[in-house]
Amino acid sequence: MSITNHSSAPGANVHFEHYCEEPGCKEWGGFGNSPSKAIPVRWWCWEHFPHKTYEQEQALRRKLEAAEMGAPN
């Protein structure tokens, strides 16, 4: 793998692993949120992400129900 065009700034190439903050959940926390730059970002998986819109929540509910019934996505 080439390092051409990569940043040389200190800490710029550090990889952080964010897992869901929901207790007991081991999923990847790909959805972060912070109310301001002064407060550290908190991370959740999509299922536990507390800032979904109503429409997004309904789509997730339908997907989970379909998975329980064994229907293809």
Query: What is the average per-residue pLDDT within 28-40?
Result: 91
Longest dimension (CA), the chain: 50
> Is the C-alpha dihedral spanning 27, 47, 14, 39 positive or negative?
negative
Please report the pLDDT score of residue 60 as a whole number: 87
Q: Letter for the amino acid at 72? A: P
* Residue 43 banded pLDDT, cuts 50, 70, 90: very high
CA angle 68, 69, 72 (to 5 degrees): 95
Q: Which two tokens stand for residue 60?
A: 């997730």
Higher pLDDT, residue 17 or 26 = 26
Q: How does residue 72 score in pLDDT terms, banded at 50, 70 and 90? A: low
Which is nearest to 26 in space by CA: 40, 14, 43?
Answer: 43
How far is CA 51 from its chain centroid?
11
Question: pLDDT value at position 18?
Answer: 87
* pLDDT given for residue 70 in this prediction: 79
